């Protein structure tokens, strides 16, 4: 009887101390190499200095050569046939009034823009989406930022030109607009 | 008598370690989940805040060019410092710029020399390995502070382009 009692007391304490030691060492190590923010990259190429490309055959349709100029007044969308003013938009009327300096296609909320928040990225996406409807095969966009434009604004512009989150494209992801961005030297 | 004594000793030994183990196991699983598996890491600081973006492409290993508010680094080694100049069009406001005596036209000379070295190294390595996968493709990871003016980034990009790096990868924080 007494022997049986002794056996049960021997089994109950499970020696967890070595495992604790191991875990206490593992936790600082993993904490050190933990990644709480995920990184991503945006691709962009330098067309002018890259390796020579083979001469392409003349395409049937003239390329769009879509460019977005970034100034502290707003975005100006340019195509191969001039500036997109957005005739049917309210901004169209405003654009014609501009004397001397041409009005941007999508002006800022407050001018000159001081922060990234005053740029109308949603409107840019909406207009590029309309352009994409006209030119479904075009994938390139040229960004022409002014020297004073903050890097953050450029990145957010690239986001707006890459995809349209409000519309669903193929395979249920957001609609792709112009994913290949080229950053031009810009206005001095 | 003997039995009583034994019981008391046993009681003293018991340390409630099980609940602590439970907690540790949960922390361990969480930390394992957030274990950094990519080679590219950033050390955030006051001078180096990456912008956030909805881009989804994962970064790959390449030459790392870092442009903070105060200096330019290549693979973690400082190359030159940046200064601030008066903004000509908005008097009173300061713009970050590359010092005039550090550049020739748009080319930042010290940075060009350093990047050219890196390009030569990468090319030699690519040839030595002999495989297509490791061949020099002119890839460069560009980490820039979100408040830098484009004029600085343009000069950096131009210099990198001259040093045969033409495939830029702008590193950004991914929004969830």
Structure confidence by residue, pLDDT tens digits, A97-154: 434 456 777 777 777 777 778 888 888 888 888 888 887 888 888 888 888 888 888 8
Q: Residue A25: its pLDDT value, please? A: 92
A55 secondary structure, DSSP code: P
Mean pLDDT of all residues in A152-177: 79
ipTM: 0.78
- Most B CBs within 10 Å, among A22, A151, A177, A179, to test the B interface: A151
8 A C-beta contact, residue B51 and residue B150: no
| pLDDT top residue among B175 and A12 | B175
Mean of the per-residue pLDDT values of chain A: 72
Kindly state whether B153 is in contact with chain A, defined as any CB-CB distance less than 8 angstroms: yes
| pLDDT top residue among A21 and A97 | A21
| pLDDT top residue among A78 and A168 | A78
Q: For chain B, which residues make up each domain, given as ranges? A: 2-33, 52-174
Please check the confidence at residue A51 and state whether its pLDDT lies above 50.
no
8 A C-beta contact, residue A95 and residue A144: no
Please check the confidence at residue A177 and state whether its pLDDT lies above 80.
yes
Q: For chain A, which residues make up each domain, given as ranges? A: 67-183
Chain B residues with CB under 8 Å of A20 CB are: 17, 20-21, 24
Chain B residues with CB under 8 Å of A145 CB are: 150
Mark yes or no for CB contact B54/A159 under 8 Å: yes
8 A C-beta contact, residue A76 and residue A83: yes
Secondary structure (DSSP) of A7-48: HHHHHS----HHHHHHHHHHHHHHHHTB--S-EEEEEEE-TT
Other C-beta atoms closer than 10 Å to the C-beta of A149 total 25
| pLDDT top residue among A168 and B75 | B75
Please check the confidence at residue A90 and state whether its pLDDT lies above 80.
no
CA distances from A26 to A56, A181, B34 (A): 57, 43, 14
* Segment-wise mean pLDDT, segments of 10 residues, chain B, 176 residues: 51 72 89 76 78 83 87 86 79 79 82 90 86 82 88 87 86 82
What is the percent of chain A where pLDDT is above 90? 1
Kindly state whether B162 is in contact with chain A, defined as any CB-CB distance less than 8 angstroms: yes
Chain B residues with CB under 8 Å of A45 CB are: 166-168
Secondary structure (DSSP) of B95-149: EEE--GGGEETTEEHHHHHHHHHHHHHHHHHHHHH--GGGS---EEEEEE-TT-B
Say which of A31, A39, A147 has its CB closest to residue B151: A147
Q: Residue A85: its pLDDT value, please? A: 61
């Amino acid at each position: 009887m007494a022997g049986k009692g002794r056996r049960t007391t021997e089994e109950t304490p499970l020696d967890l101390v070595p495992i604790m030691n191991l875990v206490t060492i593992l936790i600082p190590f993993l904490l050190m190499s933990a990644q709480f923010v995920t990184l991503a990259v945006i691709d962009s190429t330098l067309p002018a200095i890259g390796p020579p490309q083979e001469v392409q055959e003349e395409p049937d349709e003239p390329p769009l050569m879509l460019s977005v100029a970034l100034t502290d007044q707003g975005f100006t969308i340019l195509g191969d046939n001039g500036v997109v003013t957005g005739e049917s938009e309210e901004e169209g009327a405003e654009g014609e009034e501009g004397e001397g300096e041409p009005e941007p296609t999508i002006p800022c909320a407050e001018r000159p823009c001081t922060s990234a928040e005053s740029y109308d990225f949603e409107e840019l996406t909406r207009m590029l989406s309309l352009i994409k409807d006209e030119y479904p095969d075009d994938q390139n966009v040229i960004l022409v930022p002014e020297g004073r434009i903050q890097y953050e604004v450029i990145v957010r512009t690239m986001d707006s030109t890459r995809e349209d989150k409000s519309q669903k494209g193929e395979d249920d992801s957001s609609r792709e607009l112009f994913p290949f961005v080229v950053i031009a030297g810009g206005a001095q | 008598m003997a039995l009583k004594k034994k019981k008391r000793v046993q009681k003293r030994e018991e340390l409630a370690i099980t609940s602590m183990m439970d907690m540790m196991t949960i922390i361990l699983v969480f930390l394992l989940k957030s274990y950094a598996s990519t080679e590219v890491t950033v050390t955030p600081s006051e001078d180096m805040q990456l912008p956030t973006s909805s881009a989804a492409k994962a970064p790959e290993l390449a030459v790392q060019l870092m442009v903070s508010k105060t200096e330019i680094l290549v693979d973690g080694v400082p190359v030159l410092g940046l200064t601030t100049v008066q903004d000509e069009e908005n008097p009173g406001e300061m713009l970050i710029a590359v010092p005039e005596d550090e550049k020739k036209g748009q080319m930042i000379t010290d940075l060009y020399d350093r990047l050219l070295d890196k390009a030569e190294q990468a090319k030699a390595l690519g040839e030595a390995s002999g495989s297509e996968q490791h061949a020099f493709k002119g890839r460069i990871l560009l980490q820039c502070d979100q408040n830098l003016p484009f004029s600085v980034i343009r000069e950096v990009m131009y210099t990198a382009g001259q040093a045969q790096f033409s495939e830029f990868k702008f590193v950004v924080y991914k929004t969830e």
